[in-house]
Structure 1
């Protein structure tokens, strides 16, 4: 049941903590952890770490977005929304949908495809080099020689790209919501 009026201080703090924790986690995973791992651990280790990390990450983003949407919607009934509030609630909803798609489909499909690619790479003694760009020519040669690998690589790139795009949109949604929240700290 929507509640109009001023939210309690507890709800304001919870909302801000969830939103800022989610955005901070998104920035760390998207722009720092991935690049550091890609540059410092073997390629297959990097894939394994991401395959274990991303389900927790996407479900955490989903949970935070859902909680933020619920808290925000409780204190902003649809009938009373102004333009800024309508944008915020739409951004929370978009983030929920995109995080759910990533958590339930793109992440799993990308990981399954990556493991199939890694099996073929292991047969060709690839995957233990550090850095995602090392031995690029060797991977390109494998792609040209092996049609199954080429098809898997195309599928991987498609789903990884879509997953990354959805993730970046969620980062943007939360960034805009943080901006709107910061400029109107007297309300939720």
Structure 2
């Protein structure tokens, strides 16, 4: 059973049970004629079973949600670790010093030159010189390009279409239909 259908089933069971108890209250408030005791007992047993079933199904849904959350958190930790590994690998390729690695990491995180200088207990001029050295070694002209290098690396994985969908280039990216340029005749 899919997760959405499962949740809908839980809600339906709980709505039916709630309707029974609301009906019981309305019956006494509005002075409606009571139903037979046998039918009432059967409905009451059904409502109790429905509530127990709702508790069980709710517990299963909660367990599934917790497992899914744990799986996603593990994937996020793995991706974060992979990004850090990628950064360190790039820094080594570029031959960054330890200080330049720190500055590059803070820069990628989006800290300003003043913030980086304060955190490293150095002058802004030193940080500017280090960032210029980083950009030169990385072959970029500024922070946005530096960041784009890492984004490109993260996006370099295989891009596969979702099942049931056809991977198609956007209209502007498609090549135009061939044109017959031969003279008529």
- Per the normalisation by structure 1, the TM-score is 0.30
Q: State which structure, 1 or 2, has the greater radius of gyration over its C-alpha atoms.
A: 2
Larger RCO: 1 or 2 (CA < 8 Å, sep 6+): 1
- Per the normalisation by structure 2, the TM-score is 0.30
Higher percent of residues as helix: 1
